[in-house]
Structure 1
Amino acid sequence: MLKFIARRILSGLVLLLVVTCGSFFLAHRAIGDPTPGLLGNSATPFQRAALREQLGLERPLLVQFWDWFSHAIRGDFGTSWRNLQPVSEQIALRVPVTLSVVVAATLLAAVLGLAVGIITGLRPGGTLDRGLKLGSVVFFALPGFWVSLVLVMWFAIQLRWFPAVGYVSPDQSVTGWLRSITLPSVSLAIGAVVMVAEQLRNGFLEVQNQDFVRTLRARGLPPWRVTVHVLRNASPAALTVLALMFVGLLGGAIVVEIIFNLPGIGSLIQSASQIGDIPILLGLTAVTVVFVVIVNLLLDLVLGWVNPKVREQ
């Protein structure tokens, strides 16, 4: 088991290294000279040259990369070119907001997807099963921002159950925090619920036809114990989809945070992209990849527990 974990950690570190290094050179290649975005189009060539020298952009690109990378591995992503504030501090203030929404959406998708997937897997062709097939078409056809706007108009403006915009820290009010992340989390989770439930339902139907399930029933095991065995063998695909959805929700949170005016990494990415603030973009990229590596490691550990054969890969 330790070798299995070590291999996964090593592959995650390699992924982190490749993505961050590639992002550095791609960002500098794509943005080029960031001084027009930082100073505005009215800046003189002398002012732009002075800012490039201040930011160290006149140095060779490899020297800039080594300077950034040698600090980044210690958690220091430099300072923002826009406000000259440490990048790590700005990200640390924004990440909890985004994680609150994404984790809540993932938990919602896991619970509802598990319930719907089990019911439809045990009763294929029923009303809920037909509703799941219809929902898989409808919800994936609807744009995420449209779903968010509908939730705001219905639950925030008409019913006044939840705030339309804004974020309340749990330090200020736990109830206010839950109310502020409910609509953003639901808007992110709707499509994920359908996808997880569909994968679990298909896995249930496939596993229930296997010989070991008929043997368990013939031995007289209670139906709930048979269902537990079927669930354990049918869950890997749904767990994989759920982990991928978590990564996808990190990207989808950008649009949701803008709609609900949440001070998460979405608004930070938007502002940094508009002005070409490369340190912010690189710091957010590195943090996002760390989350991806952690989620994949947790997924591999869960799959290794569910199916011991995975540990041998």
Structure 2
Amino acid sequence: MGKLLWHRILATIPVLFLVSILAFSLVQLVPGDPAVTLAGDSPSDDQIAAIRTQLGLDQPLIQQFVSWLGSVFTGDFGVSLFTSQPVNEAIMQRLPATLSLVVGALVVAVLIGLPLGIIAGSQRGRWPDRIASLISSVSLAAPSYVIGLVLIIVFATKLDILPPSGYVPIEDGIGLWLQQLVLPSLALGLVPAAILARQIRSALIGVMAQDYTRTARAKGLPGRVVLLKHALKNAAIPGVTALGTQMAVVIGSTVLVEQIFGIQGLGDLAYNAALQRDIPVIQGVVLVCAVAVQFINLGVDVMYGWLNPKLRRA
């Protein structure tokens, strides 16, 4: 397992380097000149030139990239062009809310998707399978922001049992923290839950038809033991793959969900920075999200090694 983990960690280095190039290139890709935006209305050429010199935009691109990358390695993501707040400080202030959302979506996906997939795969062609498949299809048909709006209308406006927006830090009380996270976590987690359910169902049907599961049933083992001990562990590998991929999508979806639920997280920070063309903030958020995705992929690889011992020697 240690060898597998070490290889995967080394493989993330070139990926993160490519992401850093992409994040730095945002300066060139975003329309407009940050210096002109900062200069205000009707700036003179001298004012714009002075701001470009202050930001280092008058230097060659390679020199700008090397200087920026060196600062990133020391934990310095720069300063916001509009608030003058250090970017790493702004990210650390917003990170707990987004992290709570992503973890909440993961919990929703596992608690809903895994049982649905097991029920559908073990009851193939029967009414539990049809109901589970229907629930999965409905969840896949609506994007997360639509699900979020429906949840607000039903549970916050009509039933008035959950808050429609906002975020409470966990240090202010676990109960309040969980209460605020229920609706946005459902909005983010239902689509991954549906995809996980479908993957588990498909893999479980295939595994249950294998010779070793038939042999286990022929020996008189209870169906529940065959399902949970012999079949599910092998069927879980495609589900882990799907869930890891969807968690990367969830991180991107937080931009919309945080806007809908009024949560000041990384998605909200990136959205406002994009509107203001605040390049250092955008670069910092992109890098943090890229590192988070790499950690998710690393977790998926560890799960592979646990589920399939053969991969530990790969």
TM-score (norm 2): 0.94
CA contact under 8 A between 1:38 and 1:275: conserved in structure 2?
no
Q: Determine if the alignment matches structure 1 residue 268 to structure 2 residue 269.
A: yes
CA contact under 8 A between 2:207 and 2:213: conserved in structure 1?
yes
Which residue does the alignment assign to 1:52? 52
- Counterparts of 1:3-42 in structure 2 under 5 Å? 3-31=3-31, 33-42=33-42
CA contact under 8 A between 1:257 and 1:267: conserved in structure 2?
yes
Which residue does the alignment assign to 2:285? 284
Q: Which stretch of structure 1 is more off in the superposition, 118-127 or 30-39?
A: 30-39
- Alpha-carbon distance change, 136 to 114 in structure 1, aligned in 2, over 3 angstroms: closer
Q: SS of the residue aligned with 2:30?
A: helix
Q: Distance in 2 between matches of 1:304 and 1:201?
A: 22
CA contact under 8 A between 1:38 and 1:276: conserved in structure 2?
no
The runs of 4+ residues in structure 1 deviating greater than 6 Å are none
Which residue does the alignment assign to 2:133? 133
Which residue does the alignment assign to 1:203? 203
| CA positional deviation for 1:32 | 5.2
Which residue does the alignment assign to 1:145? 145
CA contact under 8 A between 2:71 and 2:77: conserved in structure 1?
yes
Which residue does the alignment assign to 1:239? 240
Q: SS of the residue aligned with 1:84?
A: coil
- Counterparts of 1:79-98 in structure 2 under 5 Å? 79-98=79-98
- Counterparts of 1:245-256 in structure 2 under 5 Å? 245-256=246-257
Q: Distance in 1 between matches of 2:281 and 2:29?
A: 16
| CA positional deviation for 1:190 | 1.2
Q: Distance in 2 between matches of 1:127 and 1:240?
A: 28
Which residue does the alignment assign to 2:181? 181
| CA positional deviation for 1:40 | 4.1
CA contact under 8 A between 2:79 and 2:280: conserved in structure 1?
yes
User: Which segments of 5 or more consecutive residues in structure 2 lack a partner in the other structure?
Assistant: none
Q: Distance in 1 between matches of 2:30 and 2:23?
A: 10
Q: Which stretch of structure 1 is more off in the superposition, 9-18 or 140-149?
A: 140-149
- Alpha-carbon distance change, 239 to 51 in structure 1, aligned in 2, over 3 angstroms: same
Q: SS of the residue aligned with 1:152?
A: helix
Over residues 239-278 of structure 1, what are the superposed CA-to-partner deviations in whole Å (9 max), with x where a residue is unaligned?
1111111111001111000011101011111111112211
CA contact under 8 A between 2:26 and 2:283: conserved in structure 1?
no
- Counterparts of 1:155-234 in structure 2 under 5 Å? 155-227=155-227, 228-234=229-235
CA contact under 8 A between 2:140 and 2:195: conserved in structure 1?
no
| CA positional deviation for 1:57 | 1.2
TM-score (norm 1): 0.95
Q: Distance in 2 between matches of 1:174 and 1:39?
A: 45
| CA positional deviation for 1:23 | 2.3
Q: Distance in 1 between matches of 2:37 and 2:271?
A: 13
Q: Which stretch of structure 1 is more off in the superposition, 36-45 or 120-129?
A: 36-45
| CA positional deviation for 1:101 | 0.9
Letter of the 2:145 counterpart: F
Q: Distance in 2 between matches of 1:14 and 1:32?
A: 30
Q: Distance in 1 between matches of 2:246 and 2:218?
A: 38
Q: Distance in 1 between matches of 2:135 and 2:41?
A: 48
Identity of aligned residues (%): 39
Aligned residues: 313
Letter of the 2:124 counterpart: P
Q: Distance in 2 between matches of 1:136 and 1:111?
A: 13
Q: Distance in 2 between matches of 1:218 and 1:198?
A: 28
Q: Distance in 1 between matches of 2:260 and 2:26?
A: 29
- Alpha-carbon distance change, 63 to 127 in structure 1, aligned in 2, over 3 angstroms: same
Over residues 163-200 of structure 1, what are the superposed CA-to-partner deviations in whole Å (9 max), with x where a residue is unaligned?
11111111112211111111100111111111101110
Q: Distance in 1 between matches of 2:154 and 2:42?
A: 45
CA contact under 8 A between 2:143 and 2:191: conserved in structure 1?
no
| CA positional deviation for 1:39 | 4.1
Q: Distance in 1 between matches of 2:39 and 2:161?
A: 43
- Alpha-carbon distance change, 42 to 172 in structure 1, aligned in 2, over 3 angstroms: farther
Q: Distance in 2 between matches of 1:193 and 1:148?
A: 15
